[in-house]
């Protein structure tokens, strides 16, 4: 009887031991698969005081949910402290240009797990009233993030506002500056189209583009028209270069970002010293919308607002030709300063 009890006990111990070993092997395999699905994302040491840190890719899912609640003001100070979250001044700013693709660029960069974007344009540096509120007011407008993520904001009016370069320099003289540009004439017409749509929504009349872009007295390009003036990129950039070296700027091709976004985003990742994480998986062409949409994960996709990609009004070809001829010498100088050439007519 005793022998049978000992044999039965050994059999039970064997079964329990097998189950334990099997469970352990499963956990090891599971952890391995999770590591492959959630690779570590090293952030360059210059973005944090602690050297080469690592952020799990699952931070991407975290900021889609919990950080959203924090932005809405639903989190307690204790929750913020426990999750080690902070509101940081931006390490990079998209400073312009208007109608160049600033929103698209910001949303696409937000695909990167180490990037956290400010949802709204802050207009801190170009608005005297906001600027008078101080840098702490600006910081509190930033989203919550992990200490070693980088915060990016975009306010395209920064590029053309005279006071902004000095103000940003005083905040951070080593900040990274992103400028996204499109073919200048197309950008000017896009600028006009946005204003026109706003007027039409209010049942207001508005001049035709040709009347605004061409001076009726001289029949020359009207440089007082803001949409034209904004497209003279080199004039604005020269003002910024009084404070920042050209190495702190990266020029993004806004036209290419529409048709072939991944190479442009990969260049920005490199400029920001971020490990490559945005892939073709994250970008898919939406034939209905006519441009690329974003895929964050298997369940969360996002397209830009319907106001993007407005249909431009027809513009007299002679006016387009005159504008392109006018912009040409400024474009050549822009290529020379930035070291990037575009196929603009």
Q: How far is CA 65 from CA 45, 74, 76, 109, in A?
A: 27, 12, 15, 18
Asked if 327 and 231 count as a contact pair (C-beta separation under 8 A), the reply is yes
Asked if 104 and 309 count as a contact pair (C-beta separation under 8 A), the reply is no
Helix, strand, or coil (residue 271) = helix
- 231 annotated to bind ligand: no
Active-site residue identified among 99, 117, 176, 322: 99
Provide the β-strand partners of residue 209: none
Q: To the nearest whole percent, how much of the chain has pLDDT over 90?
A: 64
Asked if 114 and 43 count as a contact pair (C-beta separation under 8 A), the reply is yes
Q: To the nearest whole percent, how much of the chain has pLDDT over 70?
A: 75
Which of 18-27, 213-222, 281-290: highest mean pLDDT?
213-222
Q: Tell me which of 164-178, 219-233, 249-263, 303-317 is least confident.
A: 303-317
Q: Which two tokens stand for residue 227?
A: 């949409």
Active site residue 99: yes
pLDDT band at 342 (very low <50, low <70, confident <90, very high): very high
Model-wide pTM > 0.85: no
- 309 annotated to bind ligand: yes
For residue 161, say if its preceding peptide bond is cis, omega within 30 degrees of 0.
no
Residue 125 exposed, middle or buried by CB count within 10 Å (0-12, 13-18, 19+): buried
- 311 annotated to bind ligand: yes
Between 257 and 119, residue with greater pLDDT: 257
- 199 annotated to bind ligand: no
For residue 97, say if its preceding peptide bond is cis, omega within 30 degrees of 0.
yes
Q: In the predicted model, what is the mean pLDDT of residues 246-273?
A: 97
250: nearest Cα among 275, 277, 268, 273: 268
- 186 annotated to bind ligand: no
Between 54 and 149, residue with greater pLDDT: 149
- 180 annotated to bind ligand: no
Residue ranges covered by each domain of the chain: 85-338
Q: Which two tokens stand for residue 132?
A: 């008078």
Distance CA(295)–CA(305), nearest Å, equals 15
CATH code of the region 85-338: 3.40.50.300
């Amino acid at each position: 009887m005793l022998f049978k009890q000992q044999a039965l006990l050994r059999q039970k111990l064997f079964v329990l031991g097998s189950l334990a070993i099997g469970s352990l092997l499963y956990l090891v395999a599971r952890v391995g698969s999770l590591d492959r699905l959630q690779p570590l994302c090293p952030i360059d040491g210059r973005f944090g005081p602690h050297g080469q840190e690592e952020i799990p890719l699952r931070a991407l899912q975290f900021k889609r949910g919990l950080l959203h609640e924090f932005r809405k003001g639903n989190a307690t100070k204790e929750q913020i402290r426990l999750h080690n979250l902070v509101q940081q001044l931006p390490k990079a700013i998209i400073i312009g240009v208007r109608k160049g693709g600033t929103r698209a660029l910001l949303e696409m960069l937000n695909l990167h797990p180490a990037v956290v974007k400010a949802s709204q344009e802050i207009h801190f540096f170009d608005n005297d009233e906001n600027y008078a509120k101080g840098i702490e007011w600006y910081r509190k407008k930033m989203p919550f993030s992990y200490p070693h993520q980088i915060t990016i904001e975009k306010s395209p009016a920064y590029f053309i506002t005279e006071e902004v370069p000095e103000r940003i320099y005083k905040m951070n003289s080593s900040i990274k500056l992103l400028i996204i540009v499109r073919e200048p004439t197309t950008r000017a017409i896009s600028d006009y189209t946005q204003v026109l749509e706003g007027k039409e929504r209010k049942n207001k009349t508005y001049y035709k583009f040709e009347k605004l872009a061409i001076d009726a007295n001289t029949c020359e390009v009207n440089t007082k028209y803001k949409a034209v003036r904004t497209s003279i990129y080199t004039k604005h950039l020269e003002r910024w270069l009084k404070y920042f070296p050209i190495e702190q700027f990266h020029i993004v091709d806004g036209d290419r970002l529409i048709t072939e976004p991944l190479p442009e985003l990969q260049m920005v990742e490199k400029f920001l010293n971020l490990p490559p994480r945005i892939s073709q998986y994250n970008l898919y062409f939406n034939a209905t919308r006519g441009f690329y949409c974003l895929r964050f994960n298997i369940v969360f996709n996002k397209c830009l607002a319907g106001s993007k990609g407005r249909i431009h009004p027809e513009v007299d070809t002679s006016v387009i030709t005159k504008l392109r001829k006018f912009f040409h010498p400024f474009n050549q100088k822009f290529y020379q300063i930035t070291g990037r050439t575009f196929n603009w007519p």
